[in-house]
Amino acid sequence: MTDNAGTTRPRVRVAAYVIRHRAVPELLVFDHVGVPEAGTQVPAGGVKPGEGLEEAVLREVAEETGLLTATVVRPIAVEDKPHPDTGQPRRTGFFHLQAPADTSDEWEHHVHGDGEDGGLTFACRFLPLPLRQPLADDQDAWLGRIDPNWTTATGNTQ
């Protein structure tokens, strides 16, 4: 997408830090079943035309994990960073969401629809915070904005 000046505008995206509070706070993550090279991720994806950011983040969580009970707490950060594979510009809004404490520990979700994730299966689970290892594409970079104790130990300096 280019603007009138001919510069490429970033693709607008959202990413969800869905937190469940039990004995310790836990983050919802998933892995692509059969695609281990994709790495462990949080729900994230593009914002549709005319869609609000909070609406988009709730839709992405539902589409990628099947979780319908998450609620938005607040926006956390906006990150301008090129796509790791294509180098195309993208702007991602990170959001803190809350999941009920009684949400299942792990499940598999088959993505329906005709989007880029359609037909994929995601293995979803909660990991205790702070994470022991960084997420794919440094998606965990902003967890410390929710709680400084949640900064990934082996990861980022942001």
Alpha helix stretches (DSSP H) within 1-90: 53-65
Distance CA 76, CA 144 (A): 10
> 78 lies in a domain?
yes
Looking up residue 68, the CATH number of its domain turns out to be 3.90.79.10
155 located within any domain: no
C-alpha distances in Å from residue 101, one per residue of 27, 73, 120: 12, 15, 27
Q: pLDDT digits over 57-74, tens only?
A: 999 999 999 999 999 999
Residue 6 lies in a domain: no
Give the residue carrying structure tokens 């794919």. Answer: 136
Residue 127's alpha-carbon distances to 18, 46, 79, in angstroms, are 11, 24, 23
What does the pLDDT look like over 96-117, one tens digit per residue? 999 999 999 999 999 887 677 7
Alpha-carbon separation of residue 11 from 21, 77, 93 (angstroms): 32, 16, 11
Does any domain span residue 125? yes
- Say what the pLDDT of residue 67 is: 97
Task: Work out the average pLDDT over 87-95.
Answer: 94
* Total domains in the fold of the chain: 1
Identify whether 89 is part of a domain: yes
Domain span at residue 89? 11-150
Give pTM, 2 decimals.
0.89
User: Is the residue at 32 inside a domain?
Assistant: yes
The answer to the question of residue 49 being in a domain is yes
26 touches 19 (CB < 8 A): yes
Q: Is residue 108 part of a domain?
A: yes
Q: Token pair for residue 121?
A: 């299966």
Helix (H, G, I), strand (E, B) or coil at 10: coil
